[in-house]
Structure 1
Amino acid sequence: MQAPPAGSTTRLFNLLSSRTELDHPLCAECTHILLSNLTRQLEETKKERDGYIAFEKEVRKEADREKDGPSKDEVEQKIEKLKEEEHFAIDQLKAAESERAQLEQELRSLELEEKALEEEEAEFWRVHNAHLLKSAEQASQLAALRAAYAADLATLEKLERTNVYNDAFCIGHDGVFGTINGLRLGRVPGVPVEWAEINAAWGQTLLLLYTIARKLDYTFENYRLVPMGSFSRIERTTGDKATYELYGSGDLHLGRLLHNRRFDFAMVAFLDCLKQLIDYVRSQDPHVDFPHQIVKDKIGEASVKVQFSQEEAWTRALRHVLLALKILLKWATNGSNG
């Protein structure tokens, strides 16, 4: 800082001396310091003055703005409007609260309805699952029934293709012998067929003729067949109504010879009944072919009598008898009357 001029210093001294009882002579350096401090204070005072002036201006501007503001009526109108807005807002709030209460009630109703629907859905699925189980069980039963039906149908078809008569009366041959169910019918030299087997074979043969006649609903004239196994017989229904035993014996005593004669009569009577049935079948179906003709006691030129005949011829006649029965059985079971 520059030193104050000499004139200033003198004035300063005079000023100080006038304010106090003492004169104030100062040295140059002290004077210089004093002037510097005073200058600084002056600058600060100016700044403070400028701040007050600026503040005064702001206060005046604010006062001016207050003078230019709304009037009392306007303020009261604004207050009234605000009150109205407040009442409207309160009404809206009450309406909103009422709507909220209504929505809460609807929500509770919906919750109850949802719970009921959940219970209904649970019941539906329970019933549905029970139905599925029952349906599966019924499907299993149906499959089992269908399988059983298919098996029964196959069995029925098999049975329908099966001729029970052929199974019950199997006619064949064993060398020169005709056989029925494996029993040989006849005798030849060198082949000792027991009379028990022959009698059993005649019992089966008579039963077969009896069965075919019943199936065809045919009644023999003059005779009645009595199938009784190895002791079968034929009874006359007219004349003397004699009974002829259809079984024989190899004994040679007189009583047995008489019995064997009745045996011959029985075989002739059998041949008569066989001819009656053949004639009946031919009357029903002329196309049926029987290769051996029956005339009295002969079939195919061979007699069915065992006495006074060669065993080979008797055996051949019995073979022809079985063949005729086989043709009758086939026609009765498979033909138009089957």
Structure 2
Amino acid sequence: MSKASSPEDVATVEAEIAQMELEEKKLLSELEACRREEDEMVVELARQRRQEEQLRREEEDFWLSVAEYQLDLEEDEEERAATAAAITYATDELQRLRRSSVLNEMFHISQEGPFGTINGFRLGRLPEQLVPWEEVNAAWGQACLLLDALVKRCGLPTTQYRLLPRGSHSAVQVAGDVLELYSSDGGLSRFFLDRRFDLAMSAFLGCLREVARFLQRDPAMRLPFKIEGDK
């Protein structure tokens, strides 16, 4: 028969049981804390993975934007280069046009022996050099066209002369009278025609003198020859 437990033994056992229960509760509490921490770590890991994926997509978008920007930059540089080339060409053309006169391009004035020429046509006749009237008339037609262009270009106020450029049959109108700026060979009619031709040439020089006087308001503008009377 077993020996009966003493009160001291019972107290000791009960104390040990109580201690074990406390330790069990402590372990259960620690286990619960570990589970909560594990859950939090799982949540944090998922968050970090989502953030990593977001960063990866943002990085891809960034490099795609860089590539597009580089392409746009190259296109812009090409466009700027083309624009700069166009501006340079236009500027050069403008400077060339400023240096050259349209009238200089249209009317080439020179000299051939004793005759002045305009666009290759001799302007005059001599007894020893009978330039064909067709050529002389063509020269006067070119001169009339040039002077008419000058009158319109310089904005000359109303003048008593009105130029009528009509090629080889040009004329100058003075006070309602149309004077033929051309002539021809032969016949009694030539005497009267030459007289009107002389008057037409004088009227032409009169108009030229008015243009010169108007232009010479600018001190820098000077004619190479003086016009006195009908010469």
TM-score w.r.t. the length of structure 1 is: 0.59
Contact 1:187-1:193 at 8 Å conserved across structures: yes
Q: What is the rounded CA distance, in whole Å, between the counterparts of 1:136 and 1:221 in structure 2?
A: 61
For residues 85 and 213 of structure 2, what CA distance do their matches in structure 1 show?
48
Letter in 1 for 2:137: N
Instruction: For 1:282 and 1:147, locate their aligned partners in 2 and report how far apart those are by CA, in whole Å.
Output: 40
Note the C-alpha offset of 1:225. 0.8
Higher relative contact order (CA 8 A, sep 6+): 1
- Stretches of structure 2 that go unaligned for 5 or more consecutive residues are 1-7
Q: Is the 8 A contact 1:271 1:294 kept in 2?
A: no
Other-structure match for 2:5: none
Name 2:181's counterpart in structure 1.
Answer: 246
Assess if the C-alpha contact under 8 Å between 1:231 and 1:247 holds in 2. yes
Contact map agreement 2:154 2:215 (CA 8 A) in 1:
no
SS at match of 1:248: coil
Q: CA deviation at 1:132?
A: 2.7
Structure 1 alignment gaps of length 5 or more? 1-70, 300-338
Distance 1:293 1:132, change over 3 A: closer
SS in 2 for 1:109: helix
User: Partner of 2:91: helix, strand, or coil?
Assistant: helix
Rate the CA distance shift 1:85–1:194 in 2: closer, same or farther, 3 A. same
Question: Residue 209 of structure 2 corresponds to which residue in structure 1?
Answer: 275
Runs (4 or more) in structure 1 with deviation over 4 Å come to 71-80
What letter is aligned with 2:86?
Answer: A
TM-score by length of 2: 0.83
Q: Report the RMSD for the aligned CA atoms in angstroms.
A: 2.6
Q: Read off the aligned partner of 2:26 and give its amino acid letter.
A: F
Report if aligned partners of 1:220, 1:273 keep a CA contact under 8 Å in 2. no
1:186 and 2:140 correspond: no
The structural deviation recorded for 1:189 is: 4.3
Q: CA 1:127–1:213 in 2, change beyond 3 Å: closer, same or farther? A: same
Measured against aligned partners, the alpha-carbon deviations of 1:213-261 in whole angstroms (never above 9, x if no partner) come to: 2222214643211111111001122xxx221111111x22112332222
Task: Say which SS state the counterpart of residue 172 (structure 1) adopts.
Answer: strand
Identity %: 35
Distance 1:158 1:136 in 2: 33
Residue 202 of structure 1: aligned partner: 140
Aligned length in residues = 223
The answer to which of 207-216 and 188-197 deviates more is 188-197
- Residue pair 2:215, 2:221 contacting (<8 A) in 1 also: no
1:179-228 alpha-carbon deviations (Å, 9 max, x no partner) = 11222111234444222111111011112222222222214643211111
SS of the aligned residue for 1:197 comes to: helix
